[in-house]
Every structure is written in C-alpha cells, then in structure tokens.
Amino acid sequence: MSRELAYAEAIREAIDLAMARDERVFLFGEDVGLYGGAFGVTDGLYQKYGPERVRDTPISEAIIAGVATGAALTGMRPIAEIQFMDFITLSMEQLVLQAAKLRFMLGGKVEVPFVLRTPAGAGTGAAAQHSESLENWFVHVPGLKVVMPSTPADVKGLLLASIEDPNPVIFVEHKLLYRTKGVVPEGYYTTPLSQSEIKRSGRDLTIVATSLMVMRALEAATKLAAEGIEVEVVDPRTLKPLDPAPIIQSVSKTGRVLIVHEAVKTGGFGGELAAVIAESDAFDYLDAPIRRLAGLDIPVPYNRELERRMVPQVEDIVAAARRLVREAR
C-alpha cells in the first residue's frame, strides 16, 4: 500500500526502517539527535533509538567524515549528516583520499559502506555559504557514488539502497524538497542505484533535470503542453554511476535536449550529460544543439530576488524549451 508523505518524512521513515532492520546502522551529525536535525528530518529518532545509535557531534565536518569512514571499515553501516553541503568542503580529505580509495588500495579486502546525507541548494535566503550545490565535485571522484532524489518515493527507496550499498554514497537532498509531498509505498523497499527514470513522456523535447529542477521541469512541461509542446522529462536520480540508456533513448526520439540543474553551469553535471549524449548514437538524431540551463557563475546572493534570479525557475525552463523547439523547426 501507499500513502502520501513529505520528502523529509520519507527520509525519516527510511532511516527508521534501516535502523530497526540492522543494528549496525547508526545516525550521527550536527544536531541530528535532540534537536531532530536543522530541518527536522530526524525528529523522534533520538527518542526511539537512544544516544548510542543517534549521536550529536561537534561542529567538525572532517571528524564526521572520518568517523563515518572508520566505522564503516569496522563493519558498521553509518548514516552521517553534513548540515549544509557548503561545509562538506571541510571533509574533502577524508572523503576523497580515504573513503573513496581504501577499498581499491587494499585490493578489495575492505568495504566502506556509509551514507553521507547533506542538504543542498538555494532558495531559503541562507546566502553564499549555506546554499551551494556541489554534487559534481564528487561525481569526479572514483570510488564515490552520488545520489540526488527528486521525489518522496525515490528518496526513501534510494536511501535504503544507499545504506545497503558497500560503497560510500554522497546523498544530496535539496532543502526546498523537504516539504514537498508525494505517494510513498509502505514498508521496506529499495530503488536501484544507477537507474534513470522518465518522469513524463513527450515527443518534442527532452529535458534532463536533477533534484529540485525535476519538479520545476515537470511544472514547465505542463505549461508548455498548453502551447502544443510535449516535453519528456528524465531524472537521472543517481549521478554516479549514471544510467545513460533512458536519456539516450529519449533524445533519439525527440531530437532535442535541454539539460537543467541548479549548480553553476561551469563544471556542472550538465556538461557531463551533454558529453554523454554527444558521444552516443543520439547525436545523429539531434535537430538542434544540446542546450544547458543552470545556475549563474556567482556566489548565491543574500538578496531574495537576486537569489531567485541566480538559479533556474519554471519560467526560465519554459522560455529555454520554447526557444529550443522553435530553432529546430
């Protein structure tokens, strides 16, 4: 059976199910215990599982990543939280040089199974140091997996799959998605990592979007349908390892593709997606150039209107899609 849950509730339910199922699973991070997390995501878990399995930590991202790595090496299944993705920068050595590489350096004799949850993205008025989307930094690191769910059902299934995975997983949650609601199956289930999904079918244009931009792309598609433009929306869900097949098949069908993400355009995941498409058989079916719509190459402003203009909005996606369809005719 299914019922409607908020994105944050789906995360909490996944953690609860994993902790009840496997005593090796424990949760730790800044304010995840008594306070219930900066965004209330882990509320109630401390009361249910106690201070041994739900642990508040000092404000030290390097220590959080190091403890996750060490605990995973000893057979535990840690779920760590970095309160804002911006400060994942302080844990880079542990994640990039230790967690990502130890399994390979030791010839596969160890596993490093942990999930590092981290809220990301702009839109809350939190300014330059609490609003970034840095997912592509980790896509570039062999040995790490990177997941960016867009719906409550996906976030639950993908989180449970990430907890089961024998590798370190960077699990990116957009802050503006926490209160969004959707139908979520009851009970324990996993959504396979590396499985892109078509969120809406269409014939005129493919939009490949990540995280919050999937929701905005779907809203834009509804508006464009009123103009007779049928948009297909594809959500990679897992950025690494990427499942390119549904993307390539969609672009081959529509002949046009718009890639949308919130992270700044330069060095963003959109460039990787564009390369995947250009190097595939879909290239021969393109009727227009591959286009990208992404965040501006500036720090996230504190001013709310400037912050809004910095990242793609629904109207920006509509305008970019409309131009792309027209230039191909």
- Over residues 114-127, mean pLDDT: 96
DSSP state of 36: -
Res 246 pLDDT > 90 = yes
- Across the beta sheet with 231-235, what order do the strands follow? 197-200, 231-235, 205-209, 257-264, 291-295
* CATH number of the domain within which 13 lies: 3.40.50.970
3-state helix, strand, coil in the chain (%, to 5): 40, 20, 40
Same-domain status, 132 and 214: no
Q: Would residue 191 count as lying in a domain? A: no
Same-domain status, 261 and 291: yes
pLDDT tens sequence across 275-290: 999 999 999 999 999 9
Same-domain status, 143 and 216: no
Same-domain status, 211 and 285: yes
Same-domain status, 152 and 209: no
What is the domain range of residue 304?
197-327
Total domain count, the chain: 2
Same-domain status, 135 and 266: no
pLDDT band at 79 (very low <50, low <70, confident <90, very high): very high
Q: Would residue 319 count as lying in a domain? A: yes
Peptide bond into 301 cis (omega under 30): no
| Terminal Cα-to-Cα distance of the chain (whole angstroms) | 45
Question: Tell me, what's the pLDDT at 327?
Answer: 79
pLDDT band at 328 (very low <50, low <70, confident <90, very high): low
Q: C-alpha distances in angstroms, 202 versus 84, 209, 214, 273, 286?
A: 36, 15, 15, 19, 16
**Considering 163, 185, 207, which residue would you say is the last residue of a domain?**
185
Same-domain status, 131 and 74: yes
Same-domain status, 172 and 225: no
Q: Is 70 exposed, middle or buried (0-12, 13-18, 19+ CB in 10 A)?
A: middle
**Considering 149, 164, 185, which residue would you say is the last residue of a domain?**
185
Res 326 pLDDT > 90 = no
Q: Which two tokens stand for residue 208?
A: 């490949």
Q: DSSP H helical segments within 116-241, as ranges?
A: 135-139, 152-164, 212-225
- Over residues 69-73, mean pLDDT: 98
pLDDT tens sequence across 163-213: 999 999 999 999 999 999 999 999 999 999 999 999 999 999 999 999 999
* CATH number of the domain within which 225 lies: 3.40.50.920
Q: Which two tokens stand for residue 322?
A: 């409309």
Q: Would residue 190 count as lying in a domain? A: no
Torsion angle, alpha carbons of 67, 267, 273, 326, to 10 = 140
**Considering 126, 160, 185, which residue would you say is the last residue of a domain?**
185
Q: How many residues does the chain have?
A: 329
Same-domain status, 98 and 11: yes
Measuring CA to CA, which residue among 62, 127, 72, 59 is closest to residue 95? 62
> What kind and span of H or E run contains 291?
strand 291-295
Question: Tell me, what's the pLDDT at 157?
Answer: 98
Q: Is 113 exposed, middle or buried (0-12, 13-18, 19+ CB in 10 A)?
A: buried
Q: Would residue 134 count as lying in a domain? A: yes
Question: Tell me, what's the pLDDT at 2?
Answer: 78
Q: Would residue 78 count as lying in a domain? A: yes
Same-domain status, 296 and 245: yes
Share of the chain above pLDDT 70, in %: 99
Res 329 pLDDT > 70 = no
Q: Would residue 271 count as lying in a domain? A: yes
Give me the active site residues, please. 130
Question: Tell me, what's the pLDDT at 1?
Answer: 79
